[in-house]
Structure 1
Amino acid sequence: MSVFIHHLSTLVPPHAYSQEQLCARLTEWQQNPLTARLTRQLFRRSAIARRYSVLPDFHPETEPELFHRDGRGRLLAPSTGARNACYVRHANDLSVQLARQTLAECQEFDASDITHVITVSCTGFYNPGPDYAIVTQLGLPPSVERYHLGFMGCYAALPALRMAQQFCRTRPDAVVLVICLELCSLHLQLSDQPDSALANTLFSDGAAAALVSARPPSGKKPALVLEHFRSALATEGKKDMAWTVGDSGFNLVLSSYVPEVIAANIAALVDDLLLDTPRCRQELDWWAVHPGGRAILDQVEKSLDLRAEQITDSRSVLRDYGNMSSATILFVLQRLLERRETVPRSVCAMAFGPGLTIETALLEMRPATCGRMGNQPKESAALAAA
């Protein structure tokens, strides 16, 4: 049974900042001139143009919501409780707004069709959470099954899609709404640790949703077929990427060795993903690589011997949004769907997180068929309708 991503929708909070603005603000906040110098170097090499936040705090003349100063003008480190309270204030509204937007954009489904809601986040906790808000505020049946994947990190969207696929295969009438929401800017750390300086260069706030069902697509717009998933661990990278709860927010370990660890493992892992399929790596059309940073994209492109255009959507998402943790890979897949292909295309998606965990997925992009079936080659038309 084929299971499809019928629609992808994305949302960012209202406060947009250029990298130049953020660099100026963060170096102003730094007490250590050596750390400020490192920050400027990392920003110059980031390949990011703009990032988003729920916080107005990075505008110089705006009353801050989270990052306040003491009487001597020194920046105070917000507690974990204060950061999480900020998450609670924003997460409900953004989740509900995104769920409404997704259903409004995908008119093949309405709220009464939803049978499962899967929420994903590693940047805050509360219960009842966004899943509850979506069900109650959109008027979904109270019998809707709700699941949450928490604190997994940047790779979590792919396990959420695999869970949705399994639900749909078990229950053919299932319609699963997946919501990934990450407010990474709440956990900004102004320490002298290089890991913190690197994280402050990369991470951003954003949310993305997927509507997943075994219902055949209408053909009015392109869809993605969820084919195969594979999980793997590169345990030699365990010390290089980790995510823990501290007294002053969540603490990220993100060493500069992460791109090398991924590069050393990724080719074999993709081959493993394709083991039970008729495809080989060289035959895949498009690559949706989680843009964890410029160096990660560079290493994946080199290790897999990809053409630059095969991961251009990953680079453009990094440029336009930064790293939004679990939501980011759905932004990349959305851009692939916007290509408006006229024949089916294979897609390999991958994302990375603590452990070092590497998740991969094989998908097929099905083009829109309405209004041009007669112009397609017979083989393409048959495949699109299958």
Structure 2
Amino acid sequence: MSVKVQAVAKALPAYYRSTDEIIPFLDTWLSGQEERFIKKVKKIFENAAVDKRYSIMTPEEVFSHTSFEDKNNLYAREVIKLGKQCLLNALDKAGIGTQDLDYIITVSCTGIMIPSLDAYLINELQLRQDIVRLPVTEMGCVAGISGMIYAYQFLQANPGKRAAVLAVESPTATFQLHDFSMANIVSAAIFGDGAACAILSSHEADKGPAIMAAEMYHFYDATHLMGFQLTNAGLQMVLDVAVPEQIAAQFPDIIHPFLARHGSSMEAVKHLIFHPGGKKIIQTVEELFKNSGKNIDETKEILRMYGNMSSATVLYVLERFLDKQIPAGDQGLMLSFGPGFSAQRILLQW
């Protein structure tokens, strides 16, 4: 019995702006700052390798003073709408209905909701009353793969079942208007909002690449590298400049033993399905693979088109691979990094 990724679909918020359109808002936001600092911030936006960012709110709302309560209320209202549409898109792609789901995992770290998103979707879409639900929070960018790992483990133990992994994120709801730190500036430059949903199945008849293995890897003494600090103004980004360096240092231990344990190797892996954390992380990973003949072009394209949407982003990359005609037997490696510090991996086979 294998667990397969049956379908992946996305949903995007109503508002978006290109990088060129965002620059005038920076002039207003940075009014009163030193000219040299303003030029530096603009360069960060222009060189982030992100052409467009989507948001649950207009740029005017992003760059205006609002309370944590107001931003979080907006987040809660909009992620329900975005999550509902995304889940319906994924069910439609998989050719199944709302009553065919046995398990729902909702993933988000950019707002706080109790009850969590899944509870609202059960009511909005009349999901089964006995559906198993698991909200995953506080795991950041890595949580899209985390959710898939939890679904995989559930489905391995329960043949003939299906699970939805739904990641809905709004990093723009965490933007700090009065914070001119590099962490806040860089996160504003690389992050955007979005939702993605993967349908996993342990039904024998269902099609899709099979999950051959799934594991987590945790860095020691690295909790300071990435996350959010909960402040009176909201969720304040923590983003250490040492993240790419730490990834590079541990990359061989993250990749090669995992593949070897499951009878594979980098030579056998044809497709790299990596989370686009940002331009510097992409450059770090490309450097590590420069002599392998492999590329992460799809990862770069997702960053360019949407920015980093935290946990949802790796599912956008996965969707592009699922929409291709990939030969049977080909293997793909999913990888994402997130707070903890953590790396999580899934080995797929078509």
Structure 2 residue 32 is the aligned partner of structure 1 residue 47? no
Query: Structure 1: which amino acid aligns with 2:119?
Result: Y
- SS state of the match for residue 261, structure 2? coil
Per-residue Cα deviation, 1:174-226 (whole angstroms, up to 9, x for no partner): 2111110001111112322111111110110000001111113555xxx2211
**Counterpart amino acid of 1:296?**
I
Residues 276-323 of structure 1: per-residue CA shift (max 9 Å, x gap): 222112321111111011110111121234657621110000000000
What is the aligned partner in structure 1 of residue 182 from structure 2? 194
Q: Amino acid of the residue matched to residue 86 of structure 1?
A: L
User: Any conservation in 1 of the 2:4–2:211 contact (CA below 8 Å)?
Assistant: yes
> What pairs up with 1:1-40 in 2 under 5 angstroms?
1-31=1-31, 32-33=33-34, 34-40=36-42
Conservation of the 8 A alpha-carbon contact between 1:16 and 1:52: yes
> How many aligned positions are there?
347
2:171 is the alignment partner of 1:184: yes
Paired residue secondary structure (1:155) = helix
Do the aligned partners of 2:29 and 2:63 also contact (CA within 8 Å) in 1? Answer: no
Distance in 2 (CA, whole Å) between partners of 1:55 and 1:308 is 41
Please state if 1:143 is matched with 2:145.
no
Secondary structure at the counterpart of residue 9 of structure 1 = strand
Please say if 1:174 is aligned against 2:161: yes
Give the equivalent residue in structure 1 for 2:247.
Answer: 262
> Alpha-carbon deviation of 1:79?
2.2
Write the letter of the residue equivalent to 1:268. D
Distance in 2 separating the partners of 1:23 and 1:189: 17
Q: For residues 298 and 306 of structure 1, what CA distance do their matches in structure 2 show? A: 14
1:273 equivalent in structure 2: 258
Q: Secondary structure at the match of 2:296?
A: helix
- Sort the Cα spacing of 1:217 and 1:285 in 2 relative to 1 into closer, same or farther, 3 A: farther
Instruction: Please give the alpha-carbon distance, in whole angstroms, between the structure 1 residues aligned to 2:125 and 2:119.
Output: 10
Is the 1:42–1:201 Cα contact (8 Å) retained in structure 2?
A: yes
Distance of 2:320 and 2:132 partners within structure 1 = 29
SS at 2:312 equivalent:
helix
The TM-score with structure 1 as length reference comes to 0.86
Return the alpha-carbon distance in structure 2 between the equivalents of residues 324 and 306 of structure 1. 29
1:111 is aligned to 2:98? yes
- Where relative contact order (Cα < 8 A, 6+ residues apart) is larger, the structure is 2
Question: Any unmatched runs of 5+ in structure 1?
Answer: 59-63, 69-75, 367-386
Backbone CA RMSD of aligned residues: 1.7
| d(CA) in 2 for partners of 1:24, 1:343 | 49
1:238 aligns to what? 223
Partner of 1:162: 149
Partner Cα distance (2:29, 2:40) in 1: 13
SS in 2 for 1:216: coil
User: Which of 201, 206, 210 lines up with 1:213 in the alignment?
Assistant: 201
Cα drift, residue 95 of structure 1: 1.1
Distance 1:352 1:39 in 2: 25
Q: Which residue of 1 aligns with 2:119?
A: 132
Q: CA deviation at 1:168?
A: 0.8
Per the alignment, in what secondary structure is the counterpart of residue 72 of structure 2? Answer: helix
**Alpha carbons 2:222, 2:341 under 8 Å: kept:** yes
Task: Please identify the structure whose Cα radius of gyration is greater.
Answer: 1
Partner SS, residue 213 of structure 2: strand
- The TM-score normalised by the length of structure 2 is 0.94
- Determine what percentage of the aligned residue pairs are the same residue: 27
The 8 Å contact of residues 19 and 52 in structure 2, kept in 1 or not, is answered as yes
